[in-house]
Structure 1
Amino acid sequence: MGAPDRPGAPRVGADPAIDLSDMRHDDWVARYLPTAWGPYARLCRLDRPVGTWLTLLPALAALVQAADGWPTLWRVLIFSLGALLMRGVGCTFNDIFDRDFDRRVERTRFRPLTSGQLTLRAALWFALAQILVSATLLLAINSMSRWLALALVPLVIIYPLCKRYTYWPQVVLGIAFNWGMLMAWSDTRDAVPWAAVGMWVGAVLWQVGYDAIYAYIDIRDDRMLGLRSVAMRFGDRGRLWIGVMYAAAAALWFASGASMGMDWPYHLVMAGIAAHLAWQIKGFDVGHPERGLMLFRSNMHVGVLLIVAALAGTVLPLG
């Protein structure tokens, strides 16, 4: 889904002698999986798990907060599988909808659908299979969470289409990516308090910020293909607006944690997160967007720190 699948800064019409593919042909998929399985693994991005981690880590932090301590291993397992499967569904539909665009970009022309490794029919059947497997997880969550899960499906499917019509597709992506935070509360408490919604909105804004950093890498290709992104909307003022997104996210996380009664160690870790986000802003340069790959990936550290903050605010002994 979205930016987590973009590891480089290729250009339409790039020199064919230069390998700018977003897939490594010597990775674990090529070495260990049966040849027939490889295209499916790449279609759902099992070879590039960054997006899965960025989906899962905020949900795990929410599980800790909702449980007021350690969540059950069962919930951790269910939410981990849910993040993996729904991210795979989103990536599959992304490649289905974008197959004609992907043929025109050096970075994506070797993807399974565009390179002919898979047919459109096979991709559609694979998407359906992933949805059906995901549906079995509904048996492991409560009624409120099932309805939230069903509401997520159309968001995951329509996201790839949003970049054709709006400069804000990253908002839809952020809503879908972080939906598990709301479900963590609904399944644990059978309710989603306003403080939990505040944490979720903060995560959406955080994602708009870090996905904007990544969107600048592809901004030239997107313009050539007639696609849109927040990077185009922010333009030369990208550092300012990404900073606004990050500042608003941090403020919501501080305020929501306080509303939940998180102890002071939570706020101490949150200060570290705020410092990390400020470091990203300092390192970001609209004129050199290729540096954004490293900054984007560093947000996995933010996800881990969100879990650390939740644990620090709930289970850390005080005195």
Structure 2
Amino acid sequence: MTSPAPSAATPDAVPGNWVARAPAFAQPYLRLMRADRPVGTWLLLIPCFWGLALAAAGGYAGFHLLWYAVLMSIGAYAMRGAGCAYNDIVDRDFDAKVERTAARPIPAGQISVKQAWAFLVFLSFIGLAVLLQFNRVAIFVGLGSLALVAAYPFMKRITWWPQAWLGLTFNWGALVGYAAAAGKLDAAAFALYAAGLFWTLFYDTIYAHQDTEDDALIGVKSTALRLGEKTKPALGFFFAMTLVFFALAGTLIHAHWIYYLALGPGAAHFVWQLKHLDIHDNHVCLTLFKSNRDAGLLLLLSPLCELGLSSF
């Protein structure tokens, strides 16, 4: 079997993305870190913005807010790439058996496992350099995510709910963002973290429906397989709990009524996703999954509106 050419894109990559125009030697590394699929970086970064904005709305951060947002953008880009590299190292045998992932650089033979580890270490040092710019609390909170990251690729082997573990991992940035701005963690931060957990259960269950046939054949577990035809009601519960915990976070910082009103666009987006979801159509599942960048940014409106009011 001939390995795909270095420029071969993964099926769910953004069409015409800049990675295809990068130097040939760099393309496999850029695809390893999913530079051609930026939605994952957004889904990791947005909870960081939630945490920063909520803490700022509660009276913290001040003029550091925008600088912290820039730092977290760099950190999320690097650490999402490192996480993808680690996931592909661990899952390389599974990836080779799944049509959607067989063209990834490691199973396709474009990057060796040793090269992937070296690249992972490089990206991790960038992430660490960013983390060290924050206060001590944020640094220790950030380091606390390492155990979650290390365990995640193995979850699909032992539980039907690996998406829940991904939620714990991908939304850790909400805690880091809050701690960076506030210098502490409190109940509002953890309510926001819980909202992110349910948000991830929502979007990653949709994403997992692309692979149900292959996953069932190779013995990989997911919420998509566990829920099956009951997916839509479950997703309704997940997005409802996302909104409940977002509202609770607002209550805990004594938010104005505008905070709760601003949850409306995000709620409408979730309803729109459910209305259009067809779990048997991979294109629809991928499109709706990607749309959660917009859902997350719409949820950011609530703490931003509260921050705007508190500034007057």
TM-score above 0.5: yes
Distance in 2, matches of 1:63 and 1:94, equals: 28
Shift of 1:222: 0.6
Check the 8 A contact 1:262/1:314 in 2, yes or no. no
One of 256, 262, 268 as aligned partner of 2:249: 256
Shift of 1:20: 7.5
One of 4, 23, 28 as aligned partner of 1:39: 28
Distance in 1, matches of 2:187 and 2:181, equals: 15
Distance in 2, matches of 1:138 and 1:301, equals: 26
Change beyond 3 A, Cα 1:313–1:24: closer
Check the 8 A contact 2:279/2:285 in 1, yes or no. no
Distance in 1, matches of 2:132 and 2:51, equals: 21
Confirm whether residue 203 of structure 1 aligns to residue 196 of structure 2.
Answer: yes
Deviations 1:139-159, CA, capped at 9 Å, x for gaps: 201111111111112212221
Match of residue 100 from structure 2: 107
5 Å matches for 1:77-96?
77-96=70-89
Shift of 1:133: 2.0
Amino acid at match of 2:34: R
Match of residue 298 from structure 1: 291
Amino acid at match of 1:113: I
Shift of 1:284: 2.0
One of 130, 135, 143 as aligned partner of 2:123: 130
Distance in 1, matches of 2:125 and 2:287, equals: 35
Deviations 1:109-164, CA, capped at 9 Å, x for gaps: 22111111111110111111111222212320111111111111221222111111
Check the 8 A contact 1:66/1:188 in 2, yes or no. yes
Shift of 1:306: 2.1
One of 18, 37, 52 as aligned partner of 1:28: 18
Match of residue 266 from structure 2: 273
Match of residue 37 from structure 2: 48
Change beyond 3 A, Cα 1:246–1:23: closer
Check the 8 A contact 1:214/1:293 in 2, yes or no. yes
One of 243, 253, 256 as aligned partner of 2:236: 243
Check the 8 A contact 1:21/1:109 in 2, yes or no. no
Distance in 1, matches of 2:112 and 2:143, equals: 28
Distance in 2, matches of 1:201 and 1:317, equals: 24
Deviations 1:57-107, CA, capped at 9 Å, x for gaps: 221122111112775222111111121111111100111111111222222
Amino acid at match of 1:29: V
Distance in 2, matches of 1:124 and 1:318, equals: 46
Most deviating of 281-290 and 237-246: 281-290
Distance in 2, matches of 1:280 and 1:245, equals: 13
Match of residue 16 from structure 1: none
Match of residue 218 from structure 2: 225
Most deviating of 91-100 and 301-310: 301-310
Distance in 2, matches of 1:94 and 1:139, equals: 24
* Structure 2 counterpart SS, 1:140: coil
Amino acid at match of 1:237: K
Amino acid at match of 2:294: H
Match of residue 63 from structure 1: 52
Shift of 1:34: 1.8
Check the 8 A contact 2:65/2:181 in 1, yes or no. no
Matched positions, count = 300
Amino acid at match of 1:181: A
* Structure 2 counterpart SS, 1:183: helix
Most deviating of 276-285 and 218-227: 276-285
Distance in 1, matches of 2:311 and 2:143, equals: 40
Shift of 1:287: 4.2
Distance in 2, matches of 1:182 and 1:25, equals: 34
Structure 2 length-normalised TM: 0.90
Distance in 2, matches of 1:225 and 1:29, equals: 30
Structure 1 length-normalised TM: 0.88
Amino acid at match of 1:54: L
Deviations 1:242-277, CA, capped at 9 Å, x for gaps: 111111111111122122122222211102211221
Distance in 2, matches of 1:243 and 1:279, equals: 11
Uncovered stretches (5+) of structure 1, i.e. residues with no partner: 1-18
Check the 8 A contact 1:86/1:156 in 2, yes or no. no
5 Å matches for 1:282-297?
282-288=275-281, 290-297=283-290
Most deviating of 61-70 and 256-265: 61-70
Distance in 1, matches of 2:138 and 2:115, equals: 30
